[in-house]
C-alpha cells in the first residue's frame, strides 16, 4: 500500500509493538556482543553494516525498477537516511569524523524515530520491520564502536558537529526547493506527535530544532565521554 504519511498513535498498539521490538532487538544485540569474543563482535558489526547498506540500496533500486522513485521523497537526505548509510560505511571505512557525526545524529534520530515514528514510504511487513531495524542500528553501530571497538569522541566534538551540520542543512534546503521535497523537515514540520515541537510555523520551528539539537548533543557528549572514562 502506497501512503504519504502514517504516524502511529503514541501508546497505541502499533506504537507499543514497535517500541517493544526495538527494546528486544537492541538488548539482544548488546547481550550477544558483550558476552561474545572480539571476533564475534566484529562479525556482528560487519553484519549490521552490510544490512544497512543492502536494505537502503535495495529499497531504492526496487523503486527505480518499479518506476515509483521520487526525487521529492526518496533521496537519502533525511537525517536518518544519511545516518543509515553512514552506519554501513563506517563499518568498512572507520573514520573519526564519520563516527562522531553518526554518534550525535544517529542517537538523536533513533530516539525520535522510535518514540515519535512517522512512516513516509510504502507500508508493508518488510518496510515496517526495516524501519525499526535500520533506526535501531543507527544507534547500535556508533555505541558498539565506542564500547567494543574503542572509538572515542574528541573534546568539544558536540559543538564542531553542530557547526559542520549547518552547511548540510543549507544544501538540503536548496534541494527541497528544487525538487519540492521536505528532507530533514526543513520545508514543513513533521506530522508526528512530538512534545518537543513547540511550534509548526516556518521557519521558527527550525530554530527550535537547532536549539534542541544542541541540548541533545550536550547530553550525548556527556554520556559518551563518561563511557570512555569508565571503560578506561
Domain ranges in the chain are 13-231
Surface-to-core class of residue 156, CB atoms within 10 Å of its CB (0-12 exposed, 13-18 middle, 19+ buried): exposed
pLDDT tens-digit profile of 26-72? 999 999 999 999 999 999 999 999 999 999 999 999 989 999 899 99
First to last CA, the chain: 50
pLDDT class of 229 with cuts at 50, 70, 90: very low
- 183 backbone dihedrals φ, ψ, rounded to 5°: -65, 140
Phi, psi of 119 (to 5 degrees): -90, 125
- State the Rg of the chain over Cα: 18
pLDDT band at 228 (very low <50, low <70, confident <90, very high): low
Mean pLDDT lowest among 2-16, 31-45, 96-110, 134-148 = 2-16
C-alpha distances (whole Å) from 4 to each of 1, 71, 73, 121, 122 are 10, 14, 9, 7, 8
Range list of H helices, the chain = 13-35, 38-66, 79-92, 96-115, 125-148, 157-179, 204-231
Amino acid at each position: 500500500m502506497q501512503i504519504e504519511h502514517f504516524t502511529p498513535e503514541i501508546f497505541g498498539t502499533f506504537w507499543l509493538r514497535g517500541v517493544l521490538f526495538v527494546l528486544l532487538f537492541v538488548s539482544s544485540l548488546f547481550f550477544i556482543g558483550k558476552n561474545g569474543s572480539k571476533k564475534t563482535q566484529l562479525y556482528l558489526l560487519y553484519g549490521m553494516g552490510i544490512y544497512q547498506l543492502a536494505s537502503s540500496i535495495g529499497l531504492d533500486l526496487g523503486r527505480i525498477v518499479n518506476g515509483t522513485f521520487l526525487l521529492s521523497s526518496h533521496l537519502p537526505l533525511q537525517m536518518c537516511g544519511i545516518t543509515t548509510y553512514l552506519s554501513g560505511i563506517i563499518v568498512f571505512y572507520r573514520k573519526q569524523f564519520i563516527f562522531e557525526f553518526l554518534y550525535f545524529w544517529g542517537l538523536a534520530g533513533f530516539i525520535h524515530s522510535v518514540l515519535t515514528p512517522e512512516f513516509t514510504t510504502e507500508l508493508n511487513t518488510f518496510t515496517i520491520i526495516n524501519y525499526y531495524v535500520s533506526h535501531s542500528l543507527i544507534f547500535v553501530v556508533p555505541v558498539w564502536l565506542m564500547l567494543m571497538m574503542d572509538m572515542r569522541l574528541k573534546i568539544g566534538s558536540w559543538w564542531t558537529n553542530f557547526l559542520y551540520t549547518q552547511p548540510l542543512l543549507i544544501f538540503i534546503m536548496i534541494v527541497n526547493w528544487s525538487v519540492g521535497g521536505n528532507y530533514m523537515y526543513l520545508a514543513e514540520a513533521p506530522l508526528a506527535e512530538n512534545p518537543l515541537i513547540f511550534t509548526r510555523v516556518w521557519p521558527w520551528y527550525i530554530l527550535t530544532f537547532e536549539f534542541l539539537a544542541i541540548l541533545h548533543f550536550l547530553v550525548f557528549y556527556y554520556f559518551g565521554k563518561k563511557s570512555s572514562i569508565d571503560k578506561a
